Chains A and B, each alone.
Chain A
Amino acid sequence: MDITFILIGGAVTAAGAVIAIILNYRRQINDLRESFMKLSQSFEELDDQAKLIVKTDLELNKTQEELDRRVRSLDSLQKLSRGINTTLDEHEIFNRLSYDLLNELGFERYLFLLLPDNVNFKNMVAFGFNEQSVDTLNNFFGQNPDLIKSLKSGAIISSVNLASEIKSSISEILETEDFVIAPVLVQNLLLGLIVAGHHSPTYFLTDGDAEMISILADQLGQAIENARLFEEVFRARRDLELRIQERTRQFTEALERVKRISKNKSEFISAVSHELRTPLTSIKGYASILIAGKIGEIPETVRDRLEKINKHSDNLVSLINNLLDISRIESGKADLLFKKQPLLQIIETVEDLLGPQLKEKRIVFQKNIPATLPDVVVDGGQIERVLINLVSNAVKFTPFEGVITVSSSWENDYITTCVSDTGIGLKSDDQERLFDEFYRVDNEINQKVKGTGLGLSLVKKIVEAHSGTIWVTSKYGEGANFHFTLPVKETLIQKSRQ
């Protein structure tokens, strides 16, 4: 009984333990199931989150890609514009269309065409297209004048805005699914076209892409116009330069001819003068002997004639001497002895020499020479001749009790001296020819007083031999002013002679 009870008791206890174990396992299984459910739920939540991430990522990427594309396009467009606008050579403009930059505008194939003859487009640059495409495109445009009309009006044609039939034809010619054809216009004139194409399943043409090509076409048109304008200006300038060169050559030749003639003339004058002077000396000598009565008394009437011969011989000698001096100076044969000396000293010598004539007409002779005036570098004897000539001319044309003034001033290494008088003055026509050889002003005084017309010409030659210049200013009836310049440095004379 007890054993039975014990056995039963034991069995009950064991069953209880088993039940407890089973219950415990069940609880653990439930816990695990719960954990698994939680984990599974977490995975599902993780998946949902991931889907949300993907959705957001897609949207963000789409926006980012479009933004990136725009930024790249704008950057490339700016670089392209800078490139093509910084050259004025039309061919170089097309050379600067870099494919790497063009590629960033969103298309993979490009054709840059010009319309030189208003009939057929000519290929300037092609990326991904060949000449055959250009020929086919020309034919196509020939058969579809409305498209050209549209392009001439500034419209862009593209795979987005064309009727499907025309779109298919162009797509076939260009072998691209998407394309843009933008006109290159300058002042409403169709210069050419930009054809851009793309063929990719991942590519979708947008209005922005077409707009980029349109902007590039505008920039290209501007650059070509600038290049052509520059070419025009350049060509005109080159023609002008050529004309100037031709004229200069003609002038140089003429100048050489004039110099040659002038030299011949000087040599002729020199030779003739020498030939004339020798017999004149004899004439004058014989006339003097006859006048002196060394051959016997001569009648008074003969004497008068002989004295006239003597006087005219003197005039002739003076004329010949002047001619000889001019020709010597012109040919550079005259030996001028340049020396630094005060100008005032020369003026005073001339004043002394012409004192009697001045006194005879009671002319006031004024000298206006600054004390600080530097010395001039001149041949004193020749400048004396210049001043004698100018002052005696002034005496000749200044009325009684008139005024002759010699004044000097200094500027830029040159001294300008002016001999002015209160005489009858000069007409403007006479002023222009005054320094020509043998020119004599036609007035009452000159008609009375004989002259050779070589004095002022010789003066001019002497001043120019000193690397100076001479000119006259005058108002008819109010006196004349003769200005001439002389250097203060010997180097100026040397430089002038070189």
Chain B
Amino acid sequence: MGLDIGIGFSQNENVFKASEEAAEEARANLDAKRIDLAIVMSTPHYSPQDVHPVIDNSLKQTRIIGGTTLGIILPDGLKRRGVAVILFNSDTVKLKPIHAQHLHLKDLKPAGQSFIRESGDQFGLRDQRFLMFFFDGLLENMSEFIHGVAMENGDFFPVLGGGCSDKLMFSKTYQYHDKEVSQKSASGVVFGGDISLFMSRRHGWKPLGKPRLVKQSRRNIIEKIGSGQAFHLYEEFFQNNLGFLKNDVFGKLNSRYPLGLFLKNKQEYVVQNVMDILEDGSIACQDTVSSNSEVHIMIGNKHSCLQSAEAAAQELKKNLDNRTPSFIFIFESAMRWQVLKQSWSQEFKIVTDILGKKCPVIGMLTYGEIFNPGILNYPGRKYLLNGNIILTAVV
């Protein structure tokens, strides 16, 4: 077996017990003398500052990455509360954990470059297969960081990852590093050696109304759409409900009516959450938005989300071409969960029914997902998206 994996999970009310139980269960399930990497995920009910030392102590010298999330995806479904530990061991796959902190104080592009450069010390550029990382989902313009990674390793180097989330309060998220926990940071792992990555992605939101042009923008801030302030777009559509939506900017506005940007070269719409509405009526997004981009208000519902999940699973199945992965990791937008709620289990069933149950399916609910398989479909640009279900199979 190329890559062995052991999963542990606990919902014990006591954070220390939950952390220890999850770590011990994962260790027992891995059943290996050496642990190469631990991915730790915890819901906001558990203080990451309490979770980390217990797991670190329990797993001794094991390298740790991970973060907090609104929901942990495990083979038996979504856990809205708990601590999960996923351990890896392999003799043929190289795993190099990397970390970057205080990103809010840094120029993100060079920060991204030095982040990925850290892994080069262990194995050369040719040996690096792909990067998977967790970052603070509340950081603005995180796409710059990703561009930094691309500048260092090239556009064809696959990068995948997800923004750590909280309980939809959009106030704090945490990332786990080897010896500490921090905010405004990124922690990830570069996979190398005898390993392959297969991915697929869908969102399920559709454009509404006439196309409008972004007339003025700077990086991730849309200042003007058409002739007015950016937020007038929402005012036009929601009229009396605007006050309600403004108060609920991260709730219904994002989950029901996010922004959609039309990518001319790909002939498709990508979804962008409204991260903030500024005093002057500008809209802050997660990714960079260029002037003259065509923009729409998007609409989605349970049915469209389920359809998109099915399409993503079918695409991944086709890409896998009967290969059995070591594990499947799902980066799923928290806004999808807001739309699906009870139907989330239906989506999970659709995905697992299509992909089979031969390997563990794990994942997390994210504030932003990175998609770039490094193949011809997406050259030259790595996108920090919203509203997606990204299925990644590691073979």
Contacts and interface: CB of A to CB of B under 8 A. Distances in A.
A54 B237 contact: yes
B168 A53 contact: no
Most chain A beta carbons < 10 A, residue from B208, B257, B299: B208
Interface string B279-304: 00000000000000000010101000
Contact of B297 (A43, A50, A200, A202): A50
B11 A99 contact: yes
Contact of A50 (B13, B169, B208, B250): B208
A100 interface: yes
Interface residues of A, number: 27
A334 B220 CA distance: 113
Secondary structure of the A contact surface, majority rule: helix
Interface string B245-259: 001101110001100
Contact of A201 (B11, B81, B248): B248
B259 to A, nearest CB: 14
A261 interface: no
Interface string A287-298: 000000000000
Contact of A43 (B13, B210, B247): B210
Contacts of A27: none
B168 A200 contact: yes
B34 interface: no
A140 interface: no
A68 B256 contact: no
Contacts of A72: 341-342
B208 A53 contact: yes
B13 A46 contact: no
A232 B236 CA distance: 68
Contacts of A46: 209-210
Interface string B140-166: 000000000000000000000000000
Contacts of A199: 169
Contacts of B236: 47, 51
A343 to B, nearest CB: 77
A437 interface: no
Nearest to A43: B210
Contacts of A108: 167
Interface string B83-96: 00000000000000
A47 B210 contact: yes
Contacts of A49: 209
Given A100-B81, A201-B169, A58 B210 contact: no
Nearest to A128: B45
B209 A202 contact: no
A100 B344 CA distance: 14
A99 B81 contact: yes
Name the residue among A44, A57, A199 with the largest chain B CB count within 10 angstroms.
A57
Contacts of B169: 199-201
Contacts of A262: none
A409 interface: no
Contacts of B241: 58
B13 A127 contact: yes
Interface of B: 11, 13, 45, 80-81, 167-169, 208-211, 236-239, 241, 247-248, 250-252, 256-257, 297, 299, 301, 341-342
Given A54-B208, A103-B81, 11 more contacts: A43-B210, A50-B210, A50-B297, A58-B238, A61-B252, A99-B81, A100-B80, A100-B81, A125-B13, A128-B45, A201-B250
Pairs A-B, 9 closest by C-beta atoms: A50-B209, A43-B210, A202-B251, A50-B208, A47-B209, A47-B210, A54-B237, A46-B210, A51-B237
12 contacts: A50-B297, A53-B208, A54-B297, A57-B299, A57-B301, A68-B341, A68-B342, A99-B81, A125-B13, A127-B13, A201-B247, A202-B251
